[in-house]
Structure 1
Amino acid sequence: MGSGPAAGSVRARYLVYFQYLGTDFNGVAAVRGAQRAVGVQNYLEEAAERLKSVVPVKFVISSRTDAGVHALSNAAHLDVQRRSGQPPFSPEVLTQALNTHLKHPAIRVLQAFRVHSNFHARYAATSRTYLYRLATGCPRPDQLSVFERNRCWALRADYLDVAAMQEAAQHLLGTHDFSAFQSAGSPSTSSVRTLRRASVSPDSGSPFVLPQESRRLQFWTLEFESQSFLYRQVRRMTAILVAVGLGALTPTEVKVILESRNPLGRPQTRVAPAHGLFLKSVLYGGLGDLAGNPACAQQEASIQGAERPRVSRKTSGGRPVA
């Protein structure tokens, strides 16, 4: 029988949803070593040190995002092993403790669930949705509200051919080899993905824009859903659809680019800026999009193979880099 500090202790695994504004971070992944840059994971794990786990807590991130990319709801799993005789934290207590000890105001833990010990936040995800925000009618960057500058791509154009963008998006739907939309450095062994949704729609507007400015500014939202994405796939698809909206490409040319499987062609090497991209949700079988729709937190949810957690009736406020 073991006699070390972990003897008799119980390890509990949790699925944690969290959100962040990515402006100040070098992506979500932790930056190790002496570099000055830090990732969201660095702050999460620093907060988890206060849990006094027998074994250091490591966040296994579901969906990696680049520097400057935001998340309305990302996810990760983590193990907490308390000392012998101490019961596992409840999900509610874990959430509160992490938020209490987080040292960056741009990160928030939304909710936690107790899951089975072999649950994996990345590989168990069944759906990931990204949204990209655009703004038209902004000739110069300094004409955009300071509250929106790191949250959308401000286009100098006053007009987008949204119908053409929607037609082009239809060519991307379904199962394809998306090599043409993959940036160098992807760790994926296969470039085949199934895009379930690709939509372009007007945004209801921004609460951070003054009334006199809202007459010339128009906001737009692009949404993409798949089980997983290739490295920078969403930002490259967005850039292509924007080119269609500006009249630089036709919807038919998007189909040709997709079928070319060539990531080095001139049109498809365009990459939309990171600051307009948001990871909207990561979904798992049997577990709703809690952050995308806070009301979902009012219902009990379970994960196949996990214990059935009891979720508070109070509303509270997940992949590869896209």
Structure 2
Amino acid sequence: MGSGPVAGSVRARYLVFFQYVGTDFNGSAAVRGAQRAVGVQNYLEEAAEKLKSVVPVKFIISSRTDAGVHALSNAAHLDVQRRAGQPPFTPEVLTEALNTHLRHPAIRVLQAFRVPTDFHARHAATSRTYLYRLVTGCARYDQLSVFERNRCWALRADRLDMAAMQEAAQHLLGTHDFSAFQSAGSPSTTSVRTLRRATVSLGPAGPLVLPQESRRLQFWSLEFESQSFLYRQSRDPLGKHQTRVAPAHGLFLKSVRFGGLRDLAAGSPHCAQQESQGPGGREAPAWPEDPGLETSGPKAGSLE
């Protein structure tokens, strides 16, 4: 991500974590041109225009999610090049400024960090975790709470065989050729991926479901962790089971982690960053001891 030389200006690179409800977006990536569809990135970059960077700010997103997919915590890096005599924004000021100027209420910047100028949010990611939410005991869609309709997949089944699902999930673990699970048109040069974790669990109904409903509804969570995923890794390219494709609105990107940083349950950087130099040879601020973020993310949309 280049920025032209501007005499006396200072360029700073940041890693930002952000979340969104994906219902209104055509995915996380920006939609360019005169199309009516819009991506999360469009709103982030529009907000970043208010930073008055010498060079337009572009968000390089770590994990591209498809239309309708949500993110409890996605990540991106961006460069802000201020004019001569203006110091770099602190991460706190950058976070507040972006949130102030975001025009869509379904997007929020969680936190920002200064990173070395060669840091790349997509290439440096070592782990991505996705969460898929299911609900059983809901015979009709209109029986599901309006607060959950775009955040889980309602199945007509009364319950699921969790033991069988957990056993099946174990067969996916490890390194395999997942070509039978991706859609046509994948840009990846290889379909070999390593799935590190696959879990199935039954969770509580939560506060958005009325007590009388919680007695018949059961919510299920499926989590998958890998360094990267294939394009729509839940689909059969031969179309045999296309009618059974899980809808995007049940899918959440839960977390993105990066190499050289201690794992944090929130999926955000900790304090184990290598020493790095800021502009003018000054040491860049270290990762905070505890960002205090709460994040949470399988695969119905396009995942990376």
TM, length-normalised to structure 1: 0.84
Pick closer, same or farther for the CA change 1:280–1:316 going to 2, 3 Å: closer
2:256 corresponds in structure 1 to: 282
1:293 corresponds in structure 2 to: 266
How many Å separate the matches in 2 of 1:151 and 1:274? 9
SS at match of 2:171: helix
2:44 corresponds in structure 1 to: 44
1:32 corresponds in structure 2 to: 32
1:108 corresponds in structure 2 to: 108
Q: How far does the alpha carbon of each residue in 1:68-91 deviate from its partner, in whole angstroms, 9 at most, with x for none?
A: 000000000000000011111111
Pick closer, same or farther for the CA change 1:35–1:265 going to 2, 3 Å: closer
SS at match of 2:216: coil
2:229 corresponds in structure 1 to: 229
CA contact (8 A) 2:91 2:111 kept: yes
Percent of matched pairs sharing the same residue: 79
How many Å separate the matches in 1 of 2:219 and 2:129? 19
Paired residues for 1:1-322 under 5 Å: 6-233=6-233, 235-236=234-235, 263-264=237-238, 266-267=240-241, 270-288=244-262, 293=266, 300-302=271-273, 307-311=284-288, 315-316=292-293, 321-322=302-303
Unaligned runs of 5+ in 1: 237-261
What's the CA shift for 1:314? 7.0
Corresponding pairs, count: 290
C-alpha RMSD of the superposition = 2.4
Q: How far does the alpha carbon of each residue in 1:146-178 deviate from its partner, in whole angstroms, 9 at most, with x for none?
A: 000000000000021111111111110000000
CA contact (8 A) 1:5 1:83 kept: no
CA contact (8 A) 1:20 1:106 kept: yes
TM, length-normalised to structure 2: 0.89
Pick closer, same or farther for the CA change 1:313–1:134 going to 2, 3 Å: closer
CA contact (8 A) 2:266 2:293 kept: no
CA contact (8 A) 1:152 1:275 kept: yes
Q: How far does the alpha carbon of each residue in 1:31-86 deviate from its partner, in whole angstroms, 9 at most, with x for none?
A: 11111111000000000000000000000010000010000000000000000111
Q: How far does the alpha carbon of each residue in 1:86-143 deviate from its partner, in whole angstroms, 9 at most, with x for none?
A: 1111111111111111111100001111111111100110000000000000000000
